[in-house]
A and B are shown apart, each in its own frame.
Chain A
């Protein structure tokens, strides 16, 4: 009793949108001087302000505004010249004041976009708004089956997280991506994460909760142009889950609609293990947040010169870098995506900067090094070899001092901590045998041992030379320069 993804897409066109919460990497909290450091003893980074004690007042951390403006500019948004914070009122034990200082109808950044690359095509995702708010405390519900507050025996609250600055980045609805919708959603979050990391405003670790996504999904009947009721899926906490959540929600909604029922506007929870969503609170019983302008804070009015100077100090963004590297390295977009997906972009660029050709740098990082990283279960960037060392290996191969097989042994040595490539070459005695006289002895030996092959070559079957080359390489322990061996064999049998 299910509808497959393919069946769903025959009848319906998906529309999705994303709300992404990102913890900013400021040193101190949004409205007080407490540290934001992750992993401290519970309730040690707290003060009257972030505990919401009676009489305490918030003061905006200027750095958090600067970070949000950086994000807004990187996402091509307009930056408000005047805006206010608002109170979002609801009761929850980990919410110290029982209201959250957020932004409502006057966000700091509005109306931008982010271009993402999927399957070699560029898709523009509209950005509705970027606003600032404070994080809540963190609850640990003990004794229940689900880990949620319902059914728990007791709950512990850690207010270290309370008051850490968050930005919420909200996309416009994204229609028209059809079958690719789940992939585009994932690509957007990936690109956004790369942008935020490049900006240096957050450590964007989804597994630690410093980046959290809510996914909105709806279906419209193909060609109708009428968007259906949307659901909001929470607890989507990895890139893979973003893709799965959209896909699963498309299938579920299609099933509901095919059965002649209606989609309920509701919050749904994504389950990492099963990959499905289940119903949460429906919007019909949703809270009225009673937003109103935060009277404890003065309006934020970033002056134009400051915004301009922030814009001028933005680093090169992933999209610009993509364009630059595709151009200068003569890559296709698919080749570029492979490089980025391997997480080797920084390494390859640094290797090229250290003198290697782009082709060589890509070859080593995507080939040998990616394999070894995969074998050890680490990211390529975590391998104990530097881009400069990889460039040196490539240079030794290019000069003929090493062949690929020897080069792999050099890399072994470097990864095993035996020193620089040159030190490994020296210590292990790795170098191509280039003395023709030494080679000729081995060649003659090989010809003598393979008389039939030698006859074929003499008879014009030049292709048969490979067998003799192989024999010579074996005798020399792989240190011979194979092309030179081939030349010498052909001369000898001419």
Chain B
């Protein structure tokens, strides 16, 4: 494999900036890698080869003209297929949007282009971000580069697989209930969910508006921080965007120091249903933190056990409304003829997959007159209790830690017919979405029983995203030195030795 694809984003940006390699060469190397492996990984729904090379040449022209380059100049970024992009289709993994070319650009992809990043293609995902495996994609599942018989997690599974398979050093995802952290965990890479409102949702096709949070994937903590910082910041087009400075995540990623940091282990996120290999790697990570000088305590967040049911009322409720606009009237698929009502019904029946329909029905029911208070209203009360749990915890500690997901990557098809089993993959990640604070997944080793990656989840208070990277960098440095190499180099399957 081409050497350039094994470089980190930080290394590539530096090399392009100093002129030791061109953006066009970097881009071509990644396009070649995609051509070589994506037939098996199936991370991408659309590869914008010509467009990417054109962007790369512009970066090279700017450099040749002595103009200033952005922080990510020449660095390829894979984009989850629910960011609207001019010049590339946006399907959200759904047949209902097959062939839709948005007429406008999302704030985040626009910012990345302005920072010189090369948007190399659109990645696969569970339809409208509903799922934990990419098996709900209308275009077939992506594969886990560690074991092609297993899922890469989801819903941002295509983005995670692309980064883990060296098809791109960085990728964009969105995290509504764990859709960045869980795939990062099971693919052995870094993935962060920023504070809600820290990254713009304008041009991010909505699943559940009050939960959806765009965020970064990278193979290293520093790389994820570089993307995190470049994509973040206040956006006047998104009312829920926070008008505050971006937390200094890159600086934190360069100074992984946890001496004196108060770390809380959430005891509620362990026990029955957690794979032993996941728990032993997690425990080991906590010991590492302790050995680096962190003050570790155990604490309880008693309402976290209600997070999953509350989430499965709030997220479907919002999605039932957000997805109402896919009616065959103005864009995307149109099926049938006859009255407007018939066309709407037939289009939605043909265009949406089973999981999307399930959630639309759940949400429609939960919001119905007479049921609202018992379901949606009650779930919002639970949400408040979970925020209070976090507030109480963060009054005692600086960060909280837990496993990212109870198990390692499961086999394709293993949970496809069991929605409840699938939903449990997000057990540890959902509380953060309900509360709106920040969290990250950091690789912390391989489970003994299956040799698959395990992630450590670090959670921080709102707008304290930098703490995630401070802890992440410390853990990453300690483990890399213990293992003698990055975790990803242990992957068999497609990963080059």
Chain A residues in the interface with B (C-beta under 8 A):
48, 51-60, 87, 89, 91-93, 96-99, 149, 155, 157, 288, 290-292, 295-298
Contact = CB atoms under 8 A, between A and B. Distances in A.
A-B CB proximity, top 4 nearest: A98-B324, A295-B209, A290-B367, A295-B210
Contacts of A92: 340
Contact of B324 (A59, A91, A93, A149): A91
16 contacts: A54-B90, A54-B102, A55-B206, A57-B201, A59-B239, A87-B321, A91-B324, A91-B341, A93-B329, A98-B327, A157-B329, A290-B372, A295-B318, A296-B206, A296-B209, A296-B239
B236 A59 contact: yes
A288 B371 CA distance: 11
A55 B321 contact: no
A99 B339 CA distance: 20
A54 B209 contact: no
Given A51-B330, A53-B102, 11 more contacts: A53-B103, A54-B84, A54-B206, A55-B90, A55-B205, A57-B201, A59-B236, A97-B325, A290-B320, A295-B240, A296-B209
B165 interface: no
A89 B324 contact: yes
A157 B103 CA distance: 19
A292 B367 contact: yes
B445 interface: no
Nearest to B341: A91
Contact of B325 (A54, A155, A291): A54
Contacts of B330: 51, 96
Interface of B: 82-84, 90, 92, 97, 100, 102-104, 106, 201-206, 208-210, 236-240, 317-318, 320-321, 324-327, 329-331, 339-341, 344, 364, 367-369, 372, 376
Nearest to B314: A295
A48 B104 contact: yes
Contacts of A89: 320-321, 324, 367
B259 to A, nearest CB: 39
Contact of B238 (A57, A99, A288, A291): A57
A53 B104 CA distance: 9
A57 B325 contact: no
Contacts of B104: 48, 53, 55-56
Contacts of A48: 102-104
A92 B82 CA distance: 25
A48 B315 CA distance: 24
Nearest to B367: A290
B162 to A, nearest CB: 21
Most buried by B among A48, A54, A57, A290: A54
B374 to A, nearest CB: 14
A55 B340 contact: no
A97 B90 CA distance: 18
A288 B369 contact: yes
A120 to B, nearest CB: 45
A292 to B, nearest CB: 6
A114 to B, nearest CB: 31
A288 B321 contact: no
A54 B239 contact: no
B102 A57 contact: no
A91 B327 contact: yes
Contacts of B318: 292, 295
Contacts of B106: 55
Nearest to B370: A288
Given A89-B321, A97-B325, A292-B376, A54 B205 contact: yes
Which DSSP category, helix, strand, loop or mixed, fits chain A's interface?
Answer: loop
Contacts of B341: 91
B240 A296 contact: yes
Most buried by B among A87, A157, A290: A290
Nearest to B380: A293
Most buried by A among B201, B324, B376: B324
A35 to B, nearest CB: 18
Contacts of A60: 239
Nearest to B317: A292
A48 B107 CA distance: 13
Contact of B239 (A52, A58, A99, A157): A58
Contact of B331 (A53, A288, A295): A53
Nearest to A58: B239
A54 B210 contact: no
Given A290-B367, A290-B369, A57 B237 contact: yes
Contacts of B339: 149
Nearest to A48: B104
Contact of B321 (A57, A157, A292, A297): A292
B324 A99 contact: yes
A60 B209 CA distance: 16
Contacts of A157: 329
B204 to A, nearest CB: 6
Contact of B364 (A53, A99, A290): A290
Most buried by A among B208, B209, B325, B327: B325
Contacts of B236: 59
Contacts of B203: 55-56
Contacts of A54: 84, 90, 92, 97, 100, 102, 205-206, 325-326, 331
Contacts of B324: 89, 91, 97-99
Most buried by B among A52, A91, A149: A91
A295 B196 CA distance: 12
B239 A55 contact: no
A298 B240 contact: yes
B120 to A, nearest CB: 20
A89 B365 CA distance: 13
Contacts of B82: 55
A155 B329 CA distance: 11
Most buried by A among B90, B201, B321, B327: B321
Most buried by B among A48, A51, A291: A48
A16 B82 CA distance: 50
A50 to B, nearest CB: 12
Nearest to B339: A149
Nearest to A94: B329
B340 A56 contact: no
A97 B344 CA distance: 13
Contacts of B325: 52, 54, 96-98
Contacts of A58: 239
Contacts of A290: 320-321, 364, 367-369, 372
A79 to B, nearest CB: 21
Contacts of A59: 236-239
Contacts of B239: 57-60, 296-298
Nearest to A297: B239
A238 B82 CA distance: 47
B353 to A, nearest CB: 16
B340 A155 contact: yes
Contacts of B209: 295-296
Contacts of A55: 82-84, 90, 102, 104, 106, 201-206
Contacts of A296: 206, 209, 239-240
Contacts of A52: 325
A52 B323 CA distance: 11
Most buried by B among A58, A93, A155, A157: A93
Given A288-B368, A292-B372, A292-B376, A99 B321 contact: yes
Contacts of A56: 104, 202-203
B438 to A, nearest CB: 19
Contacts of B320: 89, 290
A295 B239 CA distance: 10
A54 B326 CA distance: 8
A58 B102 CA distance: 17
A96 B324 CA distance: 9
Nearest to A54: B205
Nearest to B238: A57
A96 B329 CA distance: 9
Nearest to A88: B321
A58 B92 CA distance: 21
